[in-house]
Amino acid sequence: MHKLKSHFPRIGARIVKSAFAVGLCLFIYQLFGRDDIPFFLVIAALQGLQPYQREVKEVAVRNVIGTLIGAGCSLLILIIEIFVLRPMGASDFWFSFFITIGVAVALYSAVVLGHGESAYFSAVVYLCIIMVHLDNQSPFGYVFQRLFETLCGIGIGMAVNEIHVPRRKVKDTLFVAALDDVLHSESSILPEYSKVELNRLLDDGVRLSVITQHSSASFWQAAGTIRFKMPVILLDGAVMYNPEEKRYLSKKELTHGEAVRIMKVLDDPELGLLQSAIIDNSVLVFHQHIPEHLRAVNEDMRLTPYRNYLNLPFPDNLNPVYIFCMGTEEKLDEACETLRVHGIYDQYKIMRYSFQKHPGLGYLRIFSKDADRQKMLEELRHVCGMEKLLTFGNNPDMYDVCVRAAEGESILKAIKDKAEPFIWW
C-alpha cells in the first residue's frame, strides 16, 4: 500500500509567475471594458511560461506557428459550416464530420509545413475556436479576434517570464555540493523542483559541480536531466568525470596485486565479489560467482546502461578502481573482521552501505587510500581553472557551508545566495 506523502514543496517562481500572468490578462480585459471571457488570452499566456529561459523563444515560435495553422483551419471549417452546410440544411452528422476532418487537417498541415512540434498546439487552437464559436458571429471577425488574443497572450507570457529579481553572478568560484548529503530525496532521485532550479543556475553560468559516493551509472539515475557543465567527483573521490564529454579525467586505482590479495582474503561462496575497471571511458564490471540469494540484487544493478557486466576473470593487465563485495549484513560483518585480521582494513578506503530495496543485504566498496575527497576536490579546482572553491554539505567539519540533509531545498537557497547574491548585497 502506498503512503501519501505529507511533504509540501515550496511554491516556485513559475507558479507565482503563472498566477501573475493570469491576473494580468484579467486586468487587461477589464481595462479595455471587455465583458466576455479571456479564455484564449489566459491559455496562451500560460503556454508562454517555461521553466528554462533558453526554451522561451523556442516555445513562443512553436506556439505562434501552431496558432496561425489552427486559426487558418478553423476559419476554413467555419466557412464550410456557415456558407455550405447550413444553406443545404445538413444534419449534425455532417457538422461533426467536418470538425473531425479539420483536426486532421490542422495536425497534417503542421507536419507538411515542417513544424511537427507545433501540431498539438495547432489542434488545440483549432478546437478552441470551433467549439466556442457562436452562431451569430462572423467567422472572419471571430477568428481574427481569437488569433489576436492568442498572440497577445503568448507575448504576455514571454514578458512575465523575463521578470527576475536582479542578482549579480559570481564567476571566480567553483561551487561543489555533496549530492548524497543534501540533493536527494528518499528515493535518491532529485525532486523536480530541484532539477529545474539547478538547471537554471547552470544555464546562467554558475560554476557548479557535485561530489558523491555514486558511480557514474547511479549518478545519472540520481541526477536525472541536470545539465552539468563542470566535471564531477564520483565514488567518494575515486574518479573525476566530465558529464559533457562522457569522459573520466582522473581515477585512483588499486594495483592488480593489491586486488588479487584482497580478493583471496574475501573469497567466500556466500559473498558476491565484483571488480570494476574503467577502459576507454567505459565501466566494465568483472565477476564469476554470484550466490543465489544475491541474484536479484545483481540483476537490479545490471539494468543500467552505464555499466557493462562480464562473467569473466579479471584481466592481468588491468587495475580495478574498486572491489565490490555484497552479502548479508552478518556476512559483511565477518568480511570486515577478516580484513582487519589480515591488516587490510586500515590500509585501504572501505565504505559500507545497505541496499534500500533489499533489507538485510548490503555491500562494501574497497578503494585505494588515494581515493580521497579533499585531494580530488583540489584536483577538480585545478582542472576547472578556478581560483576559489566553496563546498556545501551537512557536515561542518568537511564542508565550507553546512546545510541540513533533511531540508533538500536548503541547498538551492545556499548555492543561490553564494553564486547569485542580490545586487544590493
Whether 351 and 388 map to the same domain: the answer is no
Whether 77 and 147 map to the same domain: the answer is yes
Whether 273 and 230 map to the same domain: the answer is no
C-alpha distances in Å from residue 28, one per residue of 32, 33, 153, 219, 367 = 6, 9, 11, 47, 64
| CATH at 233 | 3.40.50.1000
Question: What local confidence, expressed as pLDDT, does residue 171 receive?
Answer: 86
Question: What local confidence, expressed as pLDDT, does residue 108 receive?
Answer: 94
Sign of CA dihedral 307, 310, 311, 315: negative
User: Sheet harboring 322-328: ordered strands across?
Assistant: 307-310, 282-287, 272-279, 322-328, 361-367, 349-354
Secondary structure (H, E, C), 296-324 = HHHHHHHCCCCEEEECCCCCCCCCCCEEE
User: 388-393 and 401-402: which strand pairing?
Assistant: parallel
Whether 145 and 214 map to the same domain: the answer is no
Whether 126 and 267 map to the same domain: the answer is no
Does residue 6 lie in a domain region?
Answer: no
Question: What local confidence, expressed as pLDDT, does residue 405 receive?
Answer: 54
Does residue 123 lie in a domain region?
Answer: yes
Whether 198 and 328 map to the same domain: the answer is no
Question: What local confidence, expressed as pLDDT, does residue 371 receive?
Answer: 94
Question: What local confidence, expressed as pLDDT, does residue 200 receive?
Answer: 83
Domain span holding position 18:
13-161
Whether 125 and 197 map to the same domain: the answer is no
| CATH at 351 | 3.30.1240.10
Distance CA 128, CA 119 (A): 14
Does residue 4 lie in a domain region?
Answer: no
Residues of the chain below pLDDT 70: 1-10, 12, 52-55, 133-136, 181-193, 222, 224, 404-409, 424-425
Distance CA 273, CA 275 (A): 7
Number of domains in the chain: 3
Distance CA 361, CA 291 (A): 12
Whether 77 and 177 map to the same domain: the answer is no
Would you tell me how many other CB atoms lie within 10 Å of the CB of residue 198? 25
Does residue 3 lie in a domain region?
Answer: no
Whether 35 and 153 map to the same domain: the answer is yes
The H or E element containing residue 361 is strand 361-367
Phi and psi, residue 51, nearest 5°: -70, -30
Distance CA 377, CA 379 (A): 5
Whether 50 and 79 map to the same domain: the answer is yes
Whether 233 and 310 map to the same domain: the answer is no
Question: What local confidence, expressed as pLDDT, does residue 393 receive?
Answer: 83
- Written as one string, the DSSP assignment of 220-268 is HHHHTT----S-EEEGGGTEEEETTTTEEEEE-PPPHHHHHHHHHHT--
Question: What local confidence, expressed as pLDDT, does residue 209 receive?
Answer: 92
Does residue 97 lie in a domain region?
Answer: yes
Does residue 2 lie in a domain region?
Answer: no
Cβ contact 82:134 at 8 Å: no
Does residue 285 lie in a domain region?
Answer: yes
The H or E element containing residue 353 is strand 349-354
Question: What local confidence, expressed as pLDDT, does residue 240 receive?
Answer: 96
Distance CA 331, CA 270 (A): 8
User: 173-178 and 208-211: which strand pairing?
Assistant: parallel
Does residue 219 lie in a domain region?
Answer: yes
Question: What local confidence, expressed as pLDDT, does residue 3 receive?
Answer: 46
Whether 242 and 378 map to the same domain: the answer is yes
